[in-house]
Amino acid sequence: MSSVTVIGAGLAGAEAALTLANEGVAVTLIEQKPIRRSPAHHSDLFAEVVCSNSFKSDCPTTASGLLKCEMKRLGSALLPIAYSVRVPAGGSLAVDRNLFAEAVTEKIRSNPLITVVEKEQTELPEGGYTVLCTGPLTDGALYQSLTRLTGGDLHFYDAAAPIVTAESIDSACSFSESRYGKGGSDDYLNCPMTKEEYEAFYEALISAEGVVMKEFERSEIFEGCMPIEVMAKRGKDTVRFGPLKPVGLTDPRTGRRPYAVVQLRKENEEGSLYNLVGFQTNLLFAEQKRVFSLIPALKNAEFVKYGVMHRNTYLNAPRCLNPDFSLQKMPHVFVGGQLSGVEGYMESVLTGLVAARNILRIMQGKEPFRFPLQTMTGALMHAVACSPLEHPQPMNANFGILPALDNPPRDKAKKKELYSERALQALEEYLTQEE
């Protein structure tokens, strides 16, 4: 078999390199450490976990647990290592981050089929199969090379609003209408607030605790998009005359214009997910849940993604990637990790795993995998690479991206159980057919 180049030894790159080598493919793994570290990294080890040490829930009836089940079936190389250095964390898979990185590094360096080259990659390779996993802090000459290739379809900062499931929005406290009747009548869901409700929300918002930003992010993050909590601190009515302005809307319950309105916009074609318009935020996740649940229509909201504001280079995947996450203009290059537009540790590992598996299939004269949309893997890749949004946000695994169940039960726990059962059955049937 031909050799494969993997650029970047983070979670996605390490997964791709080990998966390929375990199948007998020679790998050249290019990593810029220790010559140069990104501002977020602190060691020269591979697969360094820089934020939380949790890989989220391990329960199959959660989205992250289902994703792990699918990754096990696909033969992930990093998951067994993660389990071997697991630390107590209830139902979550959490790891000793140092032992994890040390174990992954040892596996890679001791593998005779993996050649580690310590250098900074400055441009995309013209030939040969490549897995590009340089992460959310991709910059410098390689960033410029990607910019030229994609025509600028890269996002340099991730300023994302929270996303909630449609079924968790209280329909008794919301209504569909576009301002002044422009556009489709169901383009937006409006969540009205009275003066008393708004004032309670406002006080909670300006006193909520935010994320302490890293120094390298602090100077630039607010230029393009101001967090709603920062905007609110400029005056009690600032957000009410900004993203929460009620003009052009009439609450059908009262026949009058509301005091303030939070608008929700569809996040996908199915209308199963909605984002909070103008709610880019740097609040802690727990604070987002507490404060935004004060909005009457969102009192029972299920947040599948919380708002974030941090430096994060990622591709506008629908414009740049094929459904198998290869570059449209350089199909021999597969993109993995957060650079592809996924969010989360395990999601990043998944993209490295799928890139490796697809390259193996192509080498064998087969078509790349097109996983069923009923699987978390297939749904996540579809949500990223085929998003209808002009400016898609990074996406993590969540049940909201899966196709709806036929005759779904009212019980949420049972519904998630059925999602999981359907996904694993669909994956098994697909792989049995393909293998």
Rounded Cα–Cα distance for residues 186 and 167 (Å): 15
Rounded Cα–Cα distance for residues 334 and 432 (Å): 25
What tens digit of pLDDT does each residue of 110-136 get?
A: 999 999 999 999 888 888 999 999 988
The confidence band for 182, taking pLDDT boundaries of 50, 70 and 90, is low
Q: Are 13 and 7 in contact (CB under 8 A)?
A: yes
- Intervals of CATH 2.40.30 along the chain: 163-305
* Mean pLDDT taken over the chain: 90
* Phi, psi of 43, rounded to the nearest 5 degrees: -135, 175
Mean pLDDT of 14-31: 97
Q: Which helix (H) or strand (E) holds 302?
A: none
| Residues 6 or more apart whose Cβ sits within 8 Å of residue 206 | 229, 232, 233
Beta carbons within 10 angstroms of residue 37's beta carbon: 14
- The amino acid occupying position 268 is N
The confidence band for 240, taking pLDDT boundaries of 50, 70 and 90, is very high
| pLDDT number for residue 41 | 59
Rounded Cα–Cα distance for residues 202 and 320 (Å): 40
Q: Are 129 and 261 in contact (CB under 8 A)?
A: no
Please name the CATH architecture into which domain 163-305 falls: Beta Barrel (2.40)
The confidence band for 237, taking pLDDT boundaries of 50, 70 and 90, is very high
Mean pLDDT of 245-270: 90
Give CA angle at 147 (145, 149), nearest 5°: 70
**Greatest mean pLDDT among 81-90, 171-180, 298-307, 352-361:** 352-361
- CA distance to 13, 101, 240, per residue, from 35 (Å): 18, 18, 49
Task: Evaluate if residue 223 carries a pLDDT over 90.
Answer: no
* Cis before 296? omega within 30: no
286 token code pair: 């727990």
- CA distance to 124, 185, 285, 292, 308, per residue, from 167 (Å): 43, 19, 21, 16, 23
Task: Evaluate if residue 77 carries a pLDDT over 90.
Answer: yes
What tens digit of pLDDT does each residue of 413-430 get?
A: 999 999 999 999 999 999
| pLDDT number for residue 157 | 63
| pLDDT number for residue 150 | 86
What tens digit of pLDDT does each residue of 359-390 get?
A: 999 999 999 999 999 999 999 999 999 998 88
324 token code pair: 């198998």
Task: Evaluate if residue 26 carries a pLDDT over 60.
Answer: yes
What beta strand segments (E) does 59-169 contain? 86-87, 92-95, 114-118, 130-132, 154-160, 163-165
Task: Identify which has the larger pLDDT, 298 or 185.
Answer: 298
Class of domain 4-160+310-434: alpha beta
| pLDDT number for residue 348 | 97
| pLDDT number for residue 126 | 87
The confidence band for 222, taking pLDDT boundaries of 50, 70 and 90, is very low
Rounded Cα–Cα distance for residues 70 and 403 (Å): 17
What tens digit of pLDDT does each residue of 154-171 get?
A: 776 666 789 999 999 999
Rounded Cα–Cα distance for residues 215 and 201 (Å): 30
The confidence band for 67, taking pLDDT boundaries of 50, 70 and 90, is very high
| pLDDT number for residue 225 | 61
Note if the pTM is more than 0.75.
yes
Q: Are 305 and 164 in contact (CB under 8 A)?
A: no
DSSP string, 313-353: EEE-HHHHB-TTSBBSS-TTEEE-GGGGTB-SHHHHHHHHH
| pLDDT number for residue 40 | 59
Rounded Cα–Cα distance for residues 169 and 167 (Å): 6
Q: Please provide the distance, in angstroms rounded to a whole number, between the alpha carbons at the two ends of the chain.
A: 19
| Residues 6 or more apart whose Cβ sits within 8 Å of residue 100 | 47, 49, 81, 82, 85
What tens digit of pLDDT does each residue of 319-372 get?
A: 999 999 999 999 999 999 999 999 899 999 999 999 999 999 999 999 999 999
The confidence band for 197, taking pLDDT boundaries of 50, 70 and 90, is very high
Rounded Cα–Cα distance for residues 102 and 82 (Å): 11
Rounded Cα–Cα distance for residues 99 and 241 (Å): 51
Rounded Cα–Cα distance for residues 82 and 47 (Å): 11
- Intervals of CATH 3.50.50.60 along the chain: 4-160+310-434
Mean pLDDT of 247-272: 89
| pLDDT number for residue 221 | 46
Rounded Cα–Cα distance for residues 39 and 162 (Å): 26
